[in-house]
Amino acid sequence: MHKGKTGILLIILGNILYLAYTLFCGNEVTPFSEFSSGLLLGLSIGINLTGIILLVLYISKNEKNK
């Protein structure tokens, strides 16, 4: 159950980071703003993928136990 909850929370966190990326990183004029927008996008994608992998592992483990 722990992997399932963690996976869902990571997916939600990744979506919140992507929302922050779309809201705050519209006009990149300085190198720091380009860096921060890339960092936000990379973190959101990485966290989403980690959450999806954890959910797949949790679901496959539960299917084997049935």
pLDDT in tens, 1-53: 788 899 999 999 999 999 988 888 777 778 888 888 888 889 999 999 999 99
pTM: 0.82
| Residue 46 amino acid letter | G
Residue 59 belongs to domain spanning: 2-65
pLDDT of residue 27: 73
Residue 1: strand, helix, or coil: coil
Split into its structural domains, the chain has a count of 1
CA end-to-end distance (rounded Å), the chain? 15
CB 14 within 8 Å of CB 45: yes
Q: How confident is the model at residue 54 (pLDDT cuts 50, 70, 90)?
A: very high
